[in-house]
Amino acid sequence: MSSATKLPTVGGKGNYDESYSRFLKAYQDFKGECPKGVTLKLQKSGTRYNLLLQFKQPPTGKRLPKTANLECTPQGVIDGVKKAKLVAPSPGNYQQR
């Protein structure tokens, strides 16, 4: 069995039989574009990878990953950065009662 056939399975609608390296490059290039307090997270679940948003929850102060319906494609990474920019002001607007 060659190592070329052992490609990871990627979650979402992405199909990375041939372009998994393009996805990883896009992930590495664009994850730094997220605003302060919100990051993209590539989480392994068994043999699958899922692309998530991670940010601090105001009530607990813990950083938790949240699903954002992101495809594991280079376009999914770009969409994740856009969603991160939309979510970033929200935790700061939280007021504890």
Start-to-end CA span in the chain (Å):
60
| Distances 47 to 4, 10, 37, 42 between C-alpha atoms, Å | 16, 8, 28, 13
The reply to whether the predicted model has a pTM over 0.75 is no
Please answer whether residues 16 and 7 qualify as being in contact, where contact means their C-beta atoms are separated by less than 8 angstroms: yes
pLDDT digit string (tens) for 27-79? Answer: 999 888 888 888 999 988 888 888 999 987 778 888 889 888 888 888 999 99
In 3D, which of 70, 76, 66 has the Cα closest to residue 22? 76
In angstroms, the CA 91 to CA 22 distance is 32
Residue ranges covered by each domain of the chain: 8-89
